[in-house]
Amino acid sequence: MILLGSTGSIGVNALNIAQQFNLSVDTLVAGRNIDLLNQQILKHSPKRVVVMDQDDCSRVNHPDVRSGEAAILDAIEESASQHVVNALVGFAGFRPTLKALECGKRIALANKESLVVGGAFVDTSSVVPIDSEHFGLWYLNQGSRKIDRMMITASGGAFRDWPLEQLSAATLADALKHPNWSMGQKITIDSASMVNKLFELLEARWLFGEGKYDAVIETKSLIHAMIDYADGSTTAHFAHADMRLPIAYALMGHVDTPIVDRIDLTRVGALEFRPIESVRYPIWQIKEDLLRNPARGVIVNAANEAAIERFVAGDIRFIDISTMILRAYETFSTAPESIDAIFDLDHEVRAFVRGIQC
């Protein structure tokens, strides 16, 4: 495989699957965690390695080390491997997805932004999702029954139990206290604002086609997806939150070997479901419009990434992230009609959000 984002949680899990099933690793692409990258190189012996910053190249224990976005694209093109695991974070994962498709490779996709910003230009027939929610929808959608609605679940994020009046005082440290697990900074903030779930609905729309999509909070994160059928029945996908399961299916197509422990419902005891409400998650008010106009996802993504930069820098409050996204969504109404237009619009939206005074 070509693994983009090897030192993140998904990348680490992908390498665990590679080790368990004796899969070869052709290329590793990593960020700044060079110590972990060197451990991965020692264990998996990739042919080439790419890091984010040129200054880090000298610290990498490998004879073929490159840096930067262009090097990632070159590595994808040079590699004989037909499998790309794209676990890069944010808009940075879009060009590598396009390059992999251009090279005729199959993509195990965790970089949801690739579809959020450019789903109209991505051939999803060559994409296998490895988000737990989309894997769950795919897993359930293997029969011929008529589907009425596809549902995914949300944890609710760090502020699901906070009094609403206290949200204006929420700090970065507060936003990173996920109730169920430890993740990277951006995705944890996105979980707290519910942007992550909005993106996952949009991703599902591109993966599975037009239809009804929605989400609900399930506080224990044991159910990842549900499908409502036309006959009135509903099925649910239960599994422990472990990315090895969808990754294994994405890389091998079929899995009969136990990957995760089975859930013991007698020990779970009870499950709690809550609606996702706009009063707590203001971004949710554009959900239906965005699903009707999915090409506008690039606006939401660019605004979100720019707003998070400001929040992390201490320039704005947590609640201002959603406010800035909504203002950008109201300001930019056109949908890009080409890949170049996506990058132009992304640049414009980021500049707009960086200039908003709070």
CATH number (domain holding residue 70): 3.40.50.720
> Among 130, 158, 191, which residue terminates a domain?
130
Q: Does the structure show a pLDDT above 80 at 147?
A: yes
CA distance 207 to 122: 10
pLDDT at 259: 85
Question: Which helix (H) or strand (E) is 191 found in, with range?
Answer: helix 185-193
Q: Quick check: is 297 in a domain? A: yes
Identify which of 127, 273, 112, 120 has the alpha carbon closest to the alpha carbon of residue 198.
112
pLDDT above 90 coverage of the chain, percent: 82
Q: Which residues span the domain enclosing 355?
A: 293-358
The answer to whether residue 191 is domain-embedded is no
8 A C-beta contact, residue 1 and residue 18: yes
Residue with tokens 């549900």: 226
Q: What is the pLDDT of residue 315?
A: 95
Residue 311 belongs to a domain: yes
Summarised one tens digit per residue, pLDDT across range 72-104 is 999 999 999 999 999 998 899 999 999 999 999
Type of residue found at 50 = V
* Predicted confidence (pLDDT) per residue in 246-265, tens digit: 888 888 877 888 888 889 98
Q: Quote the pLDDT of residue 356.
A: 87
Burial class, 30, CB count within 10 angstroms (exposed 0-12 / middle 13-18 / buried 19+):
buried
| Model confidence pLDDT, tens digit, residues 170-202 | 999 999 998 887 778 998 999 999 999 999 999
Quick one: what percent of the chain has pLDDT higher than 70? 100
Residue whose C-alpha is closest to residue 26's, from 79, 78, 101:
79
Last residue of a domain, one of 101, 130, 159: 130
Rounded Cα distance, 17 and 42, in Å: 16
| pLDDT value at 144 more than 90 | no
- Measured CA to CA, the distance from residue 308 to residue 318 in angstroms comes to 8
From 111, 130, 149, give the residue that closes a domain.
130
Whether 184 is in a domain gets the answer no
Residue 346 within a domain: yes
pLDDT above 90 for 38: yes
Answer whether residue 206 shows pLDDT above 90: yes
Asked if the structure places residue 9 within a domain, the reply is: yes
Is the pLDDT confidence value at 209 over 80?
Answer: yes
Which one, of 104, 155, 147, lies nearest residue 125 by Cα? 104
- Whether the per-residue pLDDT at 290 is higher than 90: the answer is yes
Domain assignment present for residue 243? The answer is: no
pLDDT in the model for residue 248: 87
> Quick one: CA torsion of 343, 345, 350, 356, rounded to 10 degrees?
170
Average pLDDT over residues 304-308: 97
Residue 203 domain-assigned (yes or no):
no
Tell me how many domains the chain contains. Answer: 2
Contacts for 112 with CB less than 8 Å, ≥ 6 apart: 131, 199, 200, 203
